[in-house]
Amino acid sequence: MFTYYLDLALRSLSRNKALTALMVLAIALGIGACMTTLTVLHVLSGDPLPGKSAQLYYPQLDPRDMDGYQPGGDPPSQVTWIDGMNLLHAKRADRQALMTGGAVPVQPAQSAIEPFFENARYTTADFFPMFDVPMLYGRAWSAADDEGSARVAVISRKLNDKLFQGRDSTGQTLRMNDVAFRVIGVLDQWRMSPHFYDLNSGNYAEDEGVYVPLTTAKDMKLARNGSTDCWGKGSDPDHMDTAPCVWLQFWVQLDTPAKAAAYKQFLVHYSQEQKALGRFQRPPNVRLPDVMGWLDYNKVVPGDVRLQAWLALGFLLVCLVNTVGLMLAKFLRRSSELGVRRALGASRREVFMQLLVESGVIGLTGGIAGLLLALLGLWLVRKQPSDYAALAHLDLPMLLTTFLLAVGATLLAGLLPAWRACQVTPALQLKSN
Amino acid sequence: MDILPILSTLRRHKITALLVVLEIALTCAIVCNAVFLISQRLDRMKMFSGVAEHELVQIQAYGIGKTADAKAHAQEDLLRLRQIPGVKEVALVNQVPFTNSSWNTSIKLDPEQKQATLNATQYFGENLIDTFGAQLVAGRDFEPGEYLDMREVARDEKLAKKINTLIITRDLGQKLWPGQSALGKTIYLGGDPARVVGVVAGLIRPSLFNGDASAQWSMVFPLRMDSDNASRYVLRTAPKDRDRVLAAAVAALRKADPHRIILEKKTLDDIRAEFFQDDRAMAGLLLGVCIALLVVTGLGIVGLGSFWVAQRRRTIGVRRALGATRGSILRYFQTENFLLATIGIALGMALAYGINLFLMLHYELPRLPAYYFPVGAIALWLIGQVAVLGPAMRAAAVPPVVATRSV
């Protein structure tokens, strides 16, 4: 019976080619626009480290003086060198890493490549195991390297391809800012999006090319990138370790919620202790968001992307209303034909099925065309200059969503007209003509 | 034109008529808001910078490793740059408009104040006002003897207190002292006073992280930068010379010190275009959606009109046979469309207002100006009339003889 209905539907649709094309196009445009914007939204609001992010926390303290104090205000988004080092050495978490972003002049040994600036991360040993950073060659540095300010560097796969043509470069020398560093590790492909561990370098920034121990970077006075917030006597570029400024990010790994609660308690005690010592002046103001909490707090997903998703949903709605209206008009026009079928013994159910198959064909074709349009739309998004543009790819969950959206839109667009049209009274339709 | 028969016909096609009304309403609401958003973006892209945009180029140059005498090094660079033919002014500055990287500080009007008054950006660099081409509207520019070295000031707190003059923008002055002249007034930076000696018409912040309302909250201090603490060389030249000057300046900087990296070399026009690229992309996207919506709605009306005409062929024939002219058939369909469009537009206006309220709440958008409503209404009426014209003409062409045939 289904193939018969399908045959009827195709006949009916080919009778009004322009109209069929219009209905299919409207659904395709609506679904294409929706899928494109929802995919971008999905990619941008995704979890950078699925399975791990719930165990990673970002401790926040308030070390500022009483100037500008307002009860209930937010603590700073970064930590001072003193607090960062204290918390790092307290080792109260399962893992902990202190870090900041920077940029280093890289001086390739080959004269063919001009010296260039590379984004760098100055951090401590736990950074790599804590964020599940994959290593292609060699290893990351150890806590002992941190202590000894070792002149070692870990580089990204991309930089390794550029400087060492993708060969295992561990043990090689890399000159940066007129200092020789020993390459001890090469990362495999790794990009965190959003760039959650340091949002100062851009919410969807690419990961860094060079990783150097934080203490080494400080000793060598390597240039920093990022935000510095000061109070009191303000910034002192030569003595950032004692300046009343927050400029470092501190991340901890806490494997169970109980440990997280205990760590928060520890932060409160630490704040009280520092206040007793006279370093802190404000009452303890402690936060401990996890990765997703931190991203929410910073509202990383651009407002424009949300707006685009709303716009596309509105567009889809108009397209659906359009298609429903056209399909309804079309079905009602065929009332007499349907009346004949009813009079010849077809049940209301069978007529309904026949019409539903017809609208289903339109919806499905529109859905498939919409998927193609979404692929085209995403390709256009990737051509955009935004830093998240390159991330806009369709993944499996979004592909399934497209499919569901297409089927749902089909049913919505088909049910009402089919139901309305199969309400015809056979006798009346036969009589009227 | 008699409206009653139209209404009674529409009553028999309630659902279809309702769908047309709904489609027009949604289109009207979305298009009104989208056009408003586009106009907001276009306005933002025209934002006043206060600098001679078409005459400026910027080069970012970093030395590798430690420079022996950063001050002499910077002075030599500036001298070489000034010698390039066509260069009018040169400065080494800490920040440049539209580059998204900025130095900011909170300021107070009274040293005893607990909460800061506002957060403003700090421009440093010898000869900055003349190089940027900022227009002094009151007071004076800094005198050559007034400049101190940033390097010395950063190290010596006593010296920092000697920075006691600054130039601010007119907007910042009006924000701090509404209705008064800012000239001669004092602001406090972390307890240290500084007196306003000059006011410029405008000087936009490099980054608008605090929102567009604070775009002009800028201060200029008489501080001299060196090649260790600043990397942005700004040159002013005639618009037609920019590319040549840029190339010559890069060559001059490389010659002065081969051991350096030239990170960026761009005209300020390009830097500005990049700064607003997201707004441009969004405006383009919104425009595309508006056109698509109007086309879909227009085609929908065409499709529906065709159906109705086909369905009513016999009735039209009867009317024609009974003496109705072609014109009255044509007007019948036009009036019908006008009625549906009017209901749709009325609904759409209410919806547009609702969407605008939502956007005001979540995207800090201003209220939709009232003139959008009549303009939107006229646009949709026109589209409706154009769309229905084809089917209506076909209806008018139905010959009276149809009435005598059975379908």
> Is A324 in the same domain as A258?
no
Grade residue B13 by pLDDT with cuts at 50, 70 and 90.
confident
Residue A117: partners with Cβ closer than 8 Å, 6 or more residues away: A103, A104, A105, A106, B62, B261, B263
Last-in-domain residue among B273, B292, B326: B273
Interface contact A69, partner B, CB < 8 A: yes
How far, in Å, CA of B174 to CA of B48, rounded?
A: 16
Q: What spatial distance separates the first Cα and last Cα of chain A, rounded to whole Å?
A: 29
Alpha-carbon distance of A32 to B97, in angstroms, equals 38
Residues A312 and A408 in one domain: yes
Residue % of chain B over a pLDDT of 90 = 60
Q: B157 and A233 in contact by Cβ < 8 A? A: yes
Could you tell me how many CB contacts below 8 A there are between chain A and chain B? Answer: 130
Task: Report d(CA B171, CA B183) in Å as an integer.
Answer: 13
Which chain A positions have a beta carbon within 8 Å of B190's beta carbon?
Answer: 232-234
Q: Which residue has the higher pLDDT, A123 or B100?
A: A123
Q: How far apart are CA A402 and CA A34, in angstroms?
A: 9
Note whether A329 contacts B289, CB cutoff 8 Å: no
Answer yes or no: is pLDDT of B407 > 60.
no
Place of tokens 């560097």: A153
DSSP, residue by residue, A114-153 = --EEEEEEEE-TTHHHHTT--EEEE----HHHHHTT--EE
Looking at CA atoms only, how far is residue B136 from chain A in angstroms?
A: 30
3-class SS at B296? helix
Substitution target from B285, B297, B360, B363 for chain A, most A beta carbons within 10 A: B285
- Judging contacts by C-beta atoms under 8 Å, the chain B residues touching residue A235 are 154
Same domain, A157 and A242: yes
Chain B, 355 to 374: residues with Cβ < 8 Å from chain A are 359, 362-363
Co-location of A59 and A7 in the same domain: no
d(CA A389, CA A204) in angstroms, rounded, equals: 9
A329 neighbourhood in chain B, CB within 8 Å: 16, 303-304, 307-308, 311
Asked if A128 and A188 touch (Cβ cutoff 8 Å), the reply is no
A94 vs chain B: nearest CA distance in angstroms? 35
Cα–Cα nearest to A223, from A141, A82, A127, A101: A101
Q: Assess whether A239 and A371 both reside in one domain.
A: no
3-state secondary structure of A290: strand
Question: Angle CA(A265)–CA(A271)–CA(A277) in degrees, nearest 5?
Answer: 140
Grouping H, G, I as helix, E, B as strand and the rest as coil, residue B318 is: helix
Which amino acid would we find at residue B108? K
Q: Where does a domain end: A262, A297, A332?
A: A297
In this prediction, residue A91 carries a pLDDT of 93
Asked if the Cβ–Cβ distance from A329 to B106 is below 8 Å, we say no
Instruction: Give the pLDDT of residue B46.
Output: 94
Same domain, B147 and B40: no
Which residue type, as a one-letter code, is found at position A311?
L
Residues B252 and B355 in one domain: no
* A173 close to A106: Cβ distance less than 8 angstroms: no
Helix (H) or strand (E) holding B105: strand B104-107
Half-sphere exposure of residue B15, counting CA atoms within 13 Å on the CB side? 16
Query: A229: distance to nearest CA of chain B, Å?
Result: 9
A310 and A260 together in one domain? no
Nearest to B296 among A116, A322, A385 (CB): A322
* B23 in reach of chain A (CB within 8 A): yes
State whether A114 and A227 are in the same domain: yes
Regarding whether B64 and B21 lie in a shared domain, the answer is no
d(CA A365, CA A345): 31
Co-location of B237 and B370 in the same domain: no
Amino acid making up residue B261:
I
Q: How many angstroms away from the CA of A125 is the closest CA of chain B?
A: 25
Distance CA B92, CA B60 (A): 10
Residue B87 has pLDDT above 90, yes or no: yes
Find out whether B262 and B101 touch, Cβ atoms under 8 Å. Answer: no
The shortest C-alpha distance from A99 to chain B (Å) reads 20
Higher pLDDT, B44 or A303: B44
Indicate whether B19 and B60 sit together in one domain: no
Q: Say whether residue A237 is in contact with chain B using an 8 A CB cutoff.
A: yes
Characterize the bridge pairing of strands B218-221 and B118-124.
parallel
Q: Which of B224, B256, B273 is the last residue of a domain?
A: B273
Q: What is the Cα–Cα distance from B178 to B385, expressed in whole angstroms?
A: 53
The residue in chain B having the minimum alpha-carbon distance to the alpha carbon of residue A201 is B101
DSSP state of A215: H
Number of domains in chain B: 2
Q: What is the pLDDT of residues B356-398, one digit of tens each?
A: 999 888 877 888 898 888 888 999 999 999 999 999 999 999 8
Burial of A1 (0-12, 13-18, 19+ CB in 10 A): exposed
Query: Mean pLDDT lowest for which of A373-387, A407-421, B39-53, B336-350?
Result: A407-421
Per the CB < 8 A criterion, the answer to whether A355 and A333 are in contact is no
Alpha-carbon gap: B261 to the closest alpha carbon of chain A (Å) = 6
Which residues of chain A does B68 touch, with a Cβ-Cβ cutoff of 8 Å? none
Lowest pLDDT segment from A102-116, B191-205, B259-273: A102-116
Residue of B223, B232, B272, B239 lying closest to B253 (CA atoms): B232
User: What is the CB neighbour count within 10 angstroms for residue A396?
Assistant: 7
B203 and B118 assigned to the same domain? yes
Task: Measure the CA–CA gap between B40 and A374, rounded to whole angstroms.
Answer: 27
For residues B68 and B108, is the Cβ–Cβ distance under 8 A?
no
Decide if A218 touches B, using CB distance below 8 A: no
Asked if B115's CB is within 8 angstroms of A70's CB, the reply is yes
In this prediction, residue B5 carries a pLDDT of: 80
Is residue A281 domain-shared with residue A366, that is, in the same domain?
A: no
Residue numbers in B near A232 (CB within 8 A): 190
pLDDT of residue A392: 83
Per CB-CB distance under 8 Å, the chain B contacts of A332 are 13, 16, 311
User: From residue A187, how far is each of A140, A196, A208, A360, B157 by CA, in Å?
Assistant: 9, 18, 11, 50, 44
- DSSP H stretches of helix in B102-209: 128-132, 150-155, 157-160, 170-176
Of the candidates B23, B64, B154, which has its C-beta nearest A322's C-beta?
B23
Domain hosting A328: range is 2-45+301-432
Report the distance separating Cα A102 and Cα A225, nearest Å: 4
Interface of B with A in 293-312 (CB under 8 A): 293, 296-297, 299-300, 303-304, 306-308, 310-311
Q: A315 vs B292: CB contact, 8 Å cut-off? A: yes
Per-residue model confidence (pLDDT) at position B1:
56
Q: Residue B73: CB partners within 8 Å, gap ≥ 6?
A: B63, B67, B226, B227, B256, B257
B15 touches chain A (CB under 8 A): yes
Mean pLDDT by 10 residues, chain A (433 residues): 82 82 88 88 88 94 88 92 95 95 90 87 96 94 92 95 93 92 94 90 85 93 87 78 91 95 95 92 93 92 88 91 85 81 84 85 86 89 80 81 74 80 70 52
A139 and A175 part of one domain: yes
pLDDT, mean over chain B:
90
Which of B273, B302, B322 is the endpoint of a domain?
A: B273
Residue A31 CA to residue B12 CA, distance in Å, equals 32
Q: Hey, what amino acid is at A82? A: I
**Is B191 an interface residue toward A (CB < 8 Å)?**
no
Count of beta carbons in the 10 Å neighbourhood of residue A24: 22
Residues B257 and B283 in one domain: no
Q: Are residues B141 and B282 in the same domain?
A: no
Residues B309 and B161 in one domain: no
Q: Distance between CA A231 and CA A76 in Å, rounded?
A: 11
Q: Please tell me the distance in Å from B88's CA to the nearest CA on chain A.
A: 30
DSSP class of A387: T
Q: Which residues touch B240 (CB under 8 Å, ≥6 apart)?
A: none
Contact (CB<8Å) A329/B308: yes
Cβ contacts of A215 within 8 Å, gap of 6 or more:
A146, A147, A149
Q: CA-to-CA distance for A342 and A346, rounded, in angstroms?
A: 5
The answer to whether residues A146 and A99 touch, using CB atoms and an 8 Å cutoff, is: no
B195 shares a domain with B64: yes
**Least CB-CB distance to B307: which of A223, A330, A384?**
A330
Please report how the helices A17-44 and B277-311 are oriented relative to each other, as an axis angle in degrees rounded to 10: 150
Interchain contact, B26 vs A318, CB within 8 Å = yes
Give B63's pLDDT tier (boundaries 50, 70, 90).
confident
Q: Are residues A115 and A32 in the same domain?
A: no
Q: Which two tokens stand for residue B278?
A: 């997201």
Asked if residue B151 has pLDDT above 90, the reply is no
The reply to whether B41 and B185 lie within a common domain is: no
Same domain, A230 and A286: yes
Write out chain B residues lying below 8 Å of A69, CB-based.
114
Answer yes or no: do B64 and B160 share one domain. Answer: yes
**How many domains are contained in chain A?**
2
Q: With an 8 Å Cβ cutoff, are A416 and B15 in contact?
A: yes
Report CA A32 to chain centroid distance, whole Å: 20
Rounded mean pLDDT of B306-329? 87
| Structural domain span for residue B345 | 4-46+278-404
Domain boundary among A297, A327, A342: A297
Q: What gap in Å lies between CA B148 and CA B159, rounded to an integer?
A: 9
The enclosing H or E element of B327 equals helix B326-363
Q: Considering only CB atoms, which chain A residues are within 8 Å of B23? A: 318, 321-322, 325
User: What secondary structure letter does DSSP report for A208?
Assistant: P
Which domain-ending residue is among A244, A269, A297?
A297
Q: Report the number of secondary-structure helices (H) and strands (E) in chain B.
A: 13, 13
- Extract the tokens encoding B183: 């000239």
Distance in angstroms (rounded) separating the CA atoms of residues A250 and A127: 10
Residues 6+ apart with CB under 8 A from A70: B115
B210 to each of A110, A299, B104, B136, B205, how far by Cα in Å?
44, 14, 11, 25, 10
Please determine, for residue B118, whether its predicted confidence score (pLDDT) is greater than 70. Answer: yes
In this structure, is the dihedral angle defined by the CA atoms of residues B170, B174, B179 and B183, taken in order, positive or negative? Answer: negative
